[in-house]
Amino acid sequence: MVRKSDARRRDTRMHHVKRLASVVLAVAVLAARLLAGAPSVALVAATTLDLYFIDVEGGQATLIVTPAGASFLIDAGFPSDGTFNSKSGAPAQARDAQRVLAAAHDAGLRQIDHLMVTHYHADHMGGVMELAQLIPIRSFIDHGAPSADAEVAVPGTQALYEAYVALRAKGKHIEPKPGDRLPIKGVDVVILASGGAVLTKPLAGAGSPNPSCSGEGVPAQEKTENPRSTAVHVRYGKFSLLDVGDLTGPPLFALTCPTDLIGAASVYLVAHHGGADGSDPSLFAAVKPRVAIMNNGPRKGAQARTFATIAQMPTIDIWQLHRSLNAGVENMPDDRIANLDESTNAWIKVSASRDGSFTVTNGRTGFKKVYQ
């Protein structure tokens, strides 16, 4: 006859054995994923969407890491001279690629799942080929070939594009159209504009007339590739990001005038690094960002006209990647500037929750501000 106490002890031992077996299986699966080159997955699920606005001295490199562990990089900054260092296994002068890699390591990434090239100017996609030598890139997103006039306007555009195409052939390629959704796990990413075309139907919650529209907007400073930039709206719960790359001129104006096709966004990465052709008040009035970030350099972007536009909207906080040395600019307080000069290369990091609240952190000082 088996006593009840013996039966309970036996059941307890079996319970512990089953729990141990499940833990061993989970560790084995994780190890297999890492050996296979899959992105690392935290044992405790992440609860925030993390965005790194990386200092590439006036270009763009924005790394987004979803709570599901997926990584989405928008552009990769400038190229270097490409000199390869055989000891480190990396381009010796790959300044911007190395800075992107540092952000990826901070996020615990082992690969870039999706890279989107907004357009084919060197300050946005010149670092892509060097970055691919440092970390695997699995999927490439772009608007197809540059326009026929792009090489005339900016010499070197075609050579960069051809080098990129050779790299792109090694992974998956997506050429989305406005209105398409990107297959990025854990967030909703909608293409707003690409290749000069823009949305024809408003996003959910948008579609109202925009009374702030006037005239035809601000003309683009560069008229070939910038107006063809691929623009995205990223949503995680009640939080959203608007990133339009260097989209300027009529395509940018059409997103919010005469009808607002976008709706509100929590964070807006200001068009064209905060240049004057991204200063039209109608877009800011439609998007109503709580935070506007300028991925500017000391003398690139962040022009006085754009600062003046945002200053008329006291609900918007500006954060800068660099202190601007441009004439007429009234810079933000140092706590909201990641780099006061070129001696540092700090990022601005945003961590967002599903309820729409988010924290902005200055990577140079650690200063944080919470937005509810």
Cis bond before residue 258 (omega within 30° of 0): yes
DSSP 119-164: -S-HHHHTTHHHHTTTS-EEEEE--SSPPTTHHHHSTTHHHHHHHH
d(CA 228, CA 195): 4
Amino acid residing at 168: R
Contact 226, 247 (CB under 8 A): yes
Please report, for the chain, the start and end positions of each structural domain, with discontinuous segments joined by +: 1-36, 47-371
What is the predicted pLDDT for the residue at 44? Answer: 47
What is the mean pLDDT, run by run of 10 residues, along the chain of 372 residues? 48 47 39 41 69 98 98 97 54 87 98 98 97 97 96 95 97 98 98 97 97 96 98 98 98 98 98 98 98 98 98 97 97 98 97 98 98 97
Helix (H, G, I), strand (E, B) or coil at 285: helix
Segment 41-49 long-range contacts (CB within 8 Å, at least 24 positions apart): 41/69, 42/69, 42/108, 47/353, 47/354, 48/351, 48/352, 48/353, 49/186, 49/187, 49/234, 49/236, 49/239, 49/351, 49/352
The CATH number of the domain covering residues in 47-371: 3.60.15.10
Q: Where are the strands (E) in the chain, listed by range?
A: 49-53, 62-65, 71-74, 84-85, 90-91, 112-116, 137-141, 172-174, 181-182, 188-194, 197-198, 231-236, 239-243, 267-269, 291-294, 317-322, 337-339, 348-352, 358-362, 368-371
What Å distances lie between residue 2 and 6, 29, 152, 314, CA to CA? 7, 39, 90, 77
d(CA 299, CA 85): 31
Helix (H, G, I), strand (E, B) or coil at 226: helix
Cα 46 from chain centre: 18
